[in-house]
Chains A and B, each alone.
Chain A
């Protein structure tokens, strides 16, 4: 929805400036010989065909078609040309997305440590997973992490977006808010690991100057997971806010004015206008951020490594440990397939609950 507005703006600016191709081909250039694109046919006002009535008539008939018959066959026919265009992407997709996906299912049915050839074991890995307390603990911790992360992130994002929408629309402010999202996960993690260091960290120094005991955020069994969630809320809140802000910009101002005339305060117009009309954005943000949140890995790899006492061993960290530290490829793949299935279920349930397809504006 927003994209279309952006496009129409772009189109409008092109309409004003006129459409000018980057380089005007010279008669003698090789490119021109290869691609007989008539220079005169480039319209100066592309969006208004009435201005150049000659456009619709085939003014320039391609010269000497017989000499380039192979070229013609390749680049003038829809179906042939299409396969040439998608070939590189299709190869990349097959080799690095589709085949690995199918191979992951196959690997999950084997016992494989990369040293000996894989041994087919049927559904043993899945049976083991079902009774593995560590796996269920990892799932529990991941779910807990999502529950810490998503509600706060969404509410803070909405609040910030509301403030941006009402008070500040400057690009500078928006870039400052977005900045944490642009830096790497690893950098955000190490930054906060330093800020929260029990001995030398800035936050603990502040706490101490206020007379509060120093807190070892990352090495406390009960605080480690919420702390990691907080780091990721910090990194994502600006981005989420920006998406909500963009959604809010699409809500007609007249609705707010009407509500104000009817005597509704800002709180009521937020609940009864902003939130319902923001639903498509809300669905997008929730679905993508929950999928991302379930896969938390980078922050843990830099800070706690799953500890203390397994309190931050989330599912992706556990899969990583099994596959790349103990080289249990089969078991790791079985768990990742289980994660894939559960994420798909979570997404479908969310779509159902949030009735994503409908928008109040129609």
Chain B
């Protein structure tokens, strides 16, 4: 009888819960949708259509003009005083930066992680402890000396200058992969040793293939953080030829700090910066979600 009296109440709670979840989903995606809407609207309708959910007179013009592929004869180009930006360049730069920063980082971090997890050598514990401590350092502490180093090397406004601090290792990558390597049985590797395989062969032929899921997780996390990185590229890569997506958006916004910003252009850039992430979520949603879910508390 207890169950019959509490059931309607339970159902109500359940529906309230679903409503709350729906509300969270709307809060999460709503602003992104508004950006898409703005990017697709003619900039003359921004005021009249401010509170609408759908673009008025949808057009791809904004996306085309920030990418620099709008028809030069288009009368709209002359009508409005748009900000100047070559966002295609910025997207290409972001892709180059991401590849340069993430590719070698994972290779070298995996090698180091394997050594920390499986090989015995003097100084192993103390070096690993130092690596661990490095995860605690606030970015700004090392950005100042690193900026001076990159400047002295003449690497300001170059891809190598932006990628260098990430390319050889990041403490997180080494730590994460070491945990992964440690948490699997070592029997297989020992068998290979007994059968006469060298460590390098074991690493490439057993460890890496075996841990490809962990490597994919790390690739996703590291690529997203490189794609979204702002502070460090902002310090060393501000020139238009190398600046990445986030730096370009910031520059585009500061360009018009005085007057009304070119909102439709800014939102077009924003949408283009989100597209790769959206594609990643659509193609590998489960893997992405689980990467972030399980890589957190170690």
Contacts and interface: CB of A to CB of B under 8 A. Distances in A.
A7 interface: yes
Contact of B281 (A81, A107, A182): A182
A162 to B, nearest CB: 9
Interface in A29-85: 35-38, 41, 43, 46-47, 49, 55-62, 71-72, 75-76, 78-79, 81-83, 85
Contacts of A59: 195
A174 B239 CA distance: 38
A11 interface: yes
A322 B249 CA distance: 23
B253 interface: yes
A19 B141 contact: no
Nearest to A194: B263
Interface band, chain B: 35 or more
Given A93-B131, A160-B24, A175-B289, A85 B138 contact: no
B17 A281 contact: no
A163 B24 CA distance: 10
Contacts of B147: 324
B51 A206 contact: yes
A280 B297 contact: yes
Contact of A320 (B140, B191, B274): B140
A37 B249 CA distance: 51
Interface stretch (B60-68, B71-79, B197-205): B197-205
A200 B46 CA distance: 7
A190 interface: yes
Contacts of A104: 141-142, 144-145
A145 interface: no
B169 A93 contact: yes
A141 interface: no
Contacts of B35: 191, 194
A243 B297 contact: yes
Interface in A187-246: 187, 190-195, 197, 199-202, 204-206, 208-209, 234, 237-239, 242-243, 245-246
A173 interface: yes
Interface stretch (A126-134, A146-154, A269-277, A336-344): A336-344
Nearest to B278: A179
A239 B292 contact: yes
Interface string A165-194: 011100111111111111111110011111
Contact of A183 (B109, B228, B260, B267): B228
- Chain A interface mostly helix, strand, loop or mixed? helix
Interface residues of A, number: 133
Given A46-B188, A194-B35, A319-B140, A179 B297 contact: no
Contacts of B80: none
Given A35-B198, A60-B195, A181-B292, A86 B127 contact: yes
A180 B164 contact: no
A2 interface: yes
A190 B266 contact: yes
Contacts of B140: 295, 297, 316, 319-320, 336, 339
B122 A166 contact: no
Contacts of B285: 171-172, 175
A100 interface: yes
Interface string A288-318: 0001001101100110000000000000100
13 contacts: A36-B196, A49-B187, A75-B200, A81-B115, A82-B115, A97-B137, A97-B142, A98-B134, A174-B293, A178-B288, A202-B50, A204-B50, A295-B138
Given A100-B144, A107-B144, A301-B250, 14 more contacts: A55-B191, A72-B198, A79-B121, A85-B119, A88-B112, A96-B164, A97-B137, A98-B130, A100-B149, A104-B145, A182-B277, A184-B229, A333-B145, A339-B138
Interface of B: 13-14, 17-18, 20-21, 24-25, 27-29, 31-32, 34-35, 38, 46-47, 50-51, 104, 108-109, 111-112, 114-116, 119-122, 124, 127, 130-131, 134, 136-142, 144-149, 151, 164-165, 167-169, 171, 174, 179-180, 183-185, 187-188, 191-192, 194-201, 203-206, 209-210, 213, 224, 227-231, 234-235, 245-246, 249-250, 253, 260, 263, 266-267, 270, 273-274, 277, 280-281, 285-286, 288-290, 292-294, 296-298
Interface of A: 1-4, 6-7, 10-11, 14, 19, 21-22, 35-38, 41, 43, 46-47, 49, 55-62, 71-72, 75-76, 78-79, 81-83, 85-86, 88-93, 95-101, 103-104, 107, 114, 159-160, 163-164, 166-168, 171-187, 190-195, 197, 199-202, 204-206, 208-209, 234, 237-239, 242-243, 245-247, 266, 280-281, 284-285, 291, 294-295, 297-298, 301-302, 316, 319-320, 323-324, 329, 332-333, 336-337, 339-340, 343-344, 347
